[in-house]
Chain A
Amino acid sequence: MFKKWMGAALAVAGLALAATATAQAADPVRIGFSIAQTGLFAAAAPSQLNAYELWKEQVNATGGLDVGGTKRPIEFVMYDDQSNPEQTVKIYEKLITEDKVDLLLAPWGTPMHFAIAGVLEKHQFPMVGNSAASVQLRDLKPGNIWFPTSAIPDRMADELAKMLTANGAKTAAVLTNQLPFSLEIKQFLIPALDKAGIKVAVNDEYPPDVKDMTALLGKVKAANVDAVLALSYPNDSILYMNQAKEAGIKAPFQFVLVGPTIDFFGKMFGKDLDGIVTIGHWTPAKADWPKAKPFFDAYVAKFNANPDYLDSALAYMSCEILQQAVAKAGLDKAKIREAISTMTFDTINGPVKFEGVQNVTTPTSFLQFQDGKAQLVWPPEAATAPYKPRT
């Protein structure tokens, strides 16, 4: 009888001790998001997720996220959205209303960002976006979503036309993958090229599941253009790289839209990647951005692979912006909104300031691979290395 009482008393004492112990350790900050772990975008999402994980690890190593003065460890609440925008909407609703997370990070991809903009508006929950680029972003109501990217299709088209003119290109071939982002760029690119007086000798589209580009590239080779602009995605970018070489395309300016910034692409093509121009506004080579190289090195050390120069950089930037906003404003949504809308942030991509939903400090830029490294070659005033025609 006595033993039973003793046992019970000890149990209660133990529980009480445990309760006080956990109450004394800082409450974690719960950050929720969904990511495409399966489905169509699953191949692209790891570059973003890795950046998130790296950020969490680095912040927790310093004691946690600075929430208005107090440091609290970060805890992720993550779900697989299966590359499905409807699923993403449901997940973010759940994160806000049921899981009651403190902060949100963005999913991967333009369609997902658009899908959840409404959810964020409804619950007045601010979130910094990253992997989204479209002119329609400007139509979104500011206040709960922001986009740090500068790779917006219409500006890209203008800058690309300027870059071609600056390098004396008179003729161009445009090959477009029939996906929303590439089609949007083409929509602005053709008029921009016409305006710049550049003759578009070949202008063809192809479906995303294309298996062979020999016929298309034969046409491009026959047209003997100064610039080949392949608005392609990783799978067809690979086809382009291989089959353009086979077809003997020797245009001095070759642009490949999505693919070159991904780690495996560089490893796959080695020296052949040199001279290829692609989209991107971040490079570890920029000395003006002291945080750029350390991020690159830390990513390589943790994942044994290069970060994606576009997606990983943007994802990490969105984390930095959130971090700096929360340090100033704590977890109050209205204060965070105020902070993100007004502060100038110090990121791995230099300073970032938003006007409305857009980042107005980072110029629309292009990268070129030289000796296996990504260099910023446009605009000339921000370049880390001069553009070199592809030999």
Chain B
Amino acid sequence: MDLLLSPQLLAAALIAGVLYALVALGLNLIYGTMRLLNVAHGELVMLGGYVAYWSFALLGAGPWPALILSPLATGLLGDALYRGLFRQLLANSALAQRIEANSLLLFFGVSIILQNLVSLAFTATPRGYQPFAAMVDLGAANLTGGRLLALFVAGIVTIAAVLLLRFNTVGLAIKALIQNREAASLAGIDIEKLERWSFVAGFAIAGLAGALVSMVEQLSPFMGFPYMIAAFVIIILGGLGNLTGSLIGGLVLGLLETYGVALTSPNYRSILVYGVFIAVLLVRPQGLLGRARIVR
């Protein structure tokens, strides 16, 4: 019981939750808004991690440059992919009918290419680094510097993103986009600019998440898959397109994993997570904060 109520465990749960929330946030901006099935999302996290690793190893300025460089790198990649591949896909109404299937194929290819390019460039040898050698004693809990940084940055960015989009016209425009793309366009919203922005933001956030993950885990070209799965679970759990939902969903997942495992055993982690996921969907198919929609 002592252990369950310990601040150490709470810290661990929050770190897990807020990292998940950040990854899910990025995916929500891509799948939630445009129904693009980004199965390469995990690879973006991986790329962000590698940029962070190399910036740490080569620049010698600690982990700080990575916080800018990783999202920049993946954001630029997102921009290139949007302009090169996805803009046409979204604009063409015939293709957009089966947007999920078509985007799935495209992103699948992107994911394989990214994994293998990174594997070729850097070999599959795992890499890791410690951004700070020191431990931080928070009185009640002890954290390595890297985990503390991850907690802070992920926490601030997710909350800021959610608030920004809630109280900003861009957020309103995204809601309109989700509801009905054609109608939003008729209402005067610059759809293409909004989609591009959302796409790039999603990629950039994934990159930032990758930079933070690289400070707490080992990197390898094939590490992205579990993050992609977790992200999909969270955004469906929280409600597609609802950014607050993905924040809550991420926290729920993190807390569930950590406390569930503490109460039972690490073997029950998957059962707990997917069990709760299925239970929520049975009771509320649109997710915790999702809005029930009629399929077009």
Contact = CB atoms under 8 A, between A and B. Distances in A.
B179 interface: no
Contacts of B133: 270-272
Nearest to B2: A222
Contact of B258 (A39, A215, A246): A215
Interface residues of A, number: 46
B287 to A, nearest CB: 23
Nearest to B130: A268
A218 B3 contact: yes
Contacts of A215: 3, 9, 12, 258, 261-262, 266
Contact of A47 (B125, B144, B216): B125
A167 to B, nearest CB: 27
B218 A234 contact: yes
Interface in B123-141: 123-130, 133, 135, 141
Interface stretch (A2-10, A117-125, A206-214, A343-351): A206-214
Interface string B165-209: 000000000000000000000000000000000000000000000
Main secondary structure of the interface of B (DSSP, over half): mixed
Interface residues of B, number: 43
Interface stretch (A62-70, A259-267, A276-284, A376-384): A259-267
B9 A246 contact: no
A31 interface: no
Main secondary structure of the interface of A (DSSP, over half): helix
A211 B213 CA distance: 11
A209 B226 contact: yes
Interface string B250-273: 000000011001100111011000
B122 to A, nearest CB: 10
Interface string B126-166: 11111001010000011110110000000000000000000
B257 A211 contact: yes
Given A37-B124, A42-B119, A212-B257, A205 B6 contact: no
A222 B3 contact: yes
Contact of A214 (B8, B115, B116, B226): B8
A379 to B, nearest CB: 30
A53 B36 CA distance: 43
B125 A265 contact: no
Interface in A218-232: 218-219, 222
Contact of B142 (A37, A207, A222, A247): A247
Nearest to B268: A207
B48 interface: no
Interface in B217-256: 217-218, 220-222, 226
Residue among A39, A40, A209, A218 with most chain B CB within 10 A: A218
Nearest to A175: B266
B261 A212 contact: yes
Given A43-B125, A264-B127, A214 B119 contact: no
A125 B257 CA distance: 49
Contacts of A205: 265-267
Given A207-B267, A269-B130, A270-B133, A246 B257 contact: no
A361 interface: no
A216 interface: yes
A268 B128 contact: yes
Interface in A177-193: 178
A43 B258 contact: no
Given A37-B124, A246-B143, 6 more contacts: A206-B266, A207-B270, A214-B8, A214-B262, A215-B258, A242-B216
5 contacts: A178-B267, A212-B12, A212-B16, A212-B257, A214-B258
Interchain residue pairs A-B with the least CB separation, the first 3:
A215-B262, A206-B266, A42-B124
